[in-house]
Protein backbone atom coordinates (compact mmCIF):
# COMPACT_ATOMS: atom_id res chain seq x y z
CA UNK A 1 0.00 0.00 0.00
CA UNK A 2 1.31 3.43 -0.92
CA UNK A 3 2.09 5.66 2.04
CA UNK A 4 0.37 9.00 2.29
CA UNK A 5 2.38 12.21 2.17
CA UNK A 6 0.88 12.73 5.62
CA UNK A 7 2.60 9.61 7.01
CA UNK A 8 4.62 10.46 10.12
CA UNK A 9 7.94 9.64 8.41
CA UNK A 10 7.21 12.06 5.59
CA UNK A 11 6.17 14.75 8.05
CA UNK A 12 9.47 14.33 9.90
CA UNK A 13 11.38 14.47 6.62
CA UNK A 14 9.65 17.71 5.63
CA UNK A 15 10.45 19.19 9.04
CA UNK A 16 14.10 18.11 8.77
CA UNK A 17 14.44 19.63 5.29
CA UNK A 18 12.90 22.89 6.46
CA UNK A 19 15.24 22.87 9.46
CA UNK A 20 18.37 22.57 7.30
CA UNK A 21 17.11 25.42 5.10
CA UNK A 22 16.59 27.64 8.12
CA UNK A 23 19.95 26.63 9.65
CA UNK A 24 21.57 27.59 6.34
CA UNK A 25 19.85 30.98 6.76
CA UNK A 26 18.10 30.63 3.41
CA UNK A 27 14.65 31.85 2.48
CA UNK A 28 12.45 29.67 0.31
CA UNK A 29 13.24 32.01 -2.57
CA UNK A 30 17.00 31.74 -2.06
CA UNK A 31 16.85 27.95 -1.86
CA UNK A 32 14.59 27.70 -4.89
CA UNK A 33 17.00 29.86 -6.89
CA UNK A 34 19.93 27.64 -5.84
CA UNK A 35 17.92 24.63 -7.01
CA UNK A 36 16.81 26.27 -10.25
CA UNK A 37 13.17 25.82 -9.27
CA UNK A 38 10.27 28.19 -8.54
CA UNK A 39 9.67 29.22 -4.92
CA UNK A 40 6.46 27.18 -4.94
CA UNK A 41 8.58 24.01 -5.30
CA UNK A 42 10.11 24.58 -1.85
CA UNK A 43 6.83 25.72 -0.35
CA UNK A 44 4.95 22.68 -1.63
CA UNK A 45 7.32 20.10 -0.19
CA UNK A 46 7.60 21.99 3.11
CA UNK A 47 3.81 22.04 3.60
CA UNK A 48 3.26 18.52 2.30
CA UNK A 49 1.68 19.17 -1.07
CA UNK A 50 4.42 17.10 -2.72
CA UNK A 51 7.10 14.61 -1.79
CA UNK A 52 10.70 14.73 -2.90
CA UNK A 53 12.50 11.79 -4.40
CA UNK A 54 15.94 10.80 -3.11
CA UNK A 55 17.86 12.81 -5.73
CA UNK A 56 15.82 15.91 -4.88
CA UNK A 57 16.64 15.47 -1.17
CA UNK A 58 20.33 15.27 -2.09
CA UNK A 59 20.01 18.46 -4.14
CA UNK A 60 18.36 20.29 -1.22
CA UNK A 61 21.11 19.13 1.13
CA UNK A 62 23.82 20.31 -1.25
CA UNK A 63 22.13 23.69 -1.71
CA UNK A 64 22.04 24.05 2.10
CA UNK A 65 25.73 23.08 2.37
CA UNK A 66 24.89 19.87 4.22
CA UNK A 67 26.55 16.59 3.26
CA UNK A 68 23.70 14.35 2.09
CA UNK A 69 25.22 11.36 3.87
CA UNK A 70 25.26 13.30 7.15
CA UNK A 71 21.63 14.34 6.68
CA UNK A 72 20.50 10.79 5.89
CA UNK A 73 22.48 9.33 8.78
CA UNK A 74 21.14 11.84 11.29
CA UNK A 75 17.58 11.54 9.96
CA UNK A 76 17.70 7.76 10.10
CA UNK A 77 19.08 7.70 13.65
CA UNK A 78 16.54 10.19 14.96
CA UNK A 79 13.53 8.63 13.22
CA UNK A 80 14.06 4.92 13.66
CA UNK A 81 10.83 3.35 14.83
CA UNK A 82 11.30 1.78 18.21
CA UNK A 83 9.35 -1.43 18.44
User: What is the domain partition of the chain in residue ranges?
Assistant: 8-78
Cβ distance 31 to 60 under 8 Å?
A: yes
Q: Note the pLDDT of residue 24.
A: 98
pLDDT (0 to 100) of residue 83: 40
Mean pLDDT across the chain, nearest whole number? 92
- Cβ atoms of 74 and 33 within 8 Å: the answer is no
Asked if the model's pLDDT at residue 82 lies above 70, the reply is: no
Give the span between the Cα atoms of 2 and 17, in whole angstroms.
22
Q: Which fold has domain 8-78?
A: 434 Repressor (Amino-terminal Domain) (1.10.260)
Amino acid sequence: MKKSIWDESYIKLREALKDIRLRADLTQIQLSEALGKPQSYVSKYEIGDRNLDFIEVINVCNACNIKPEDFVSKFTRSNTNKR
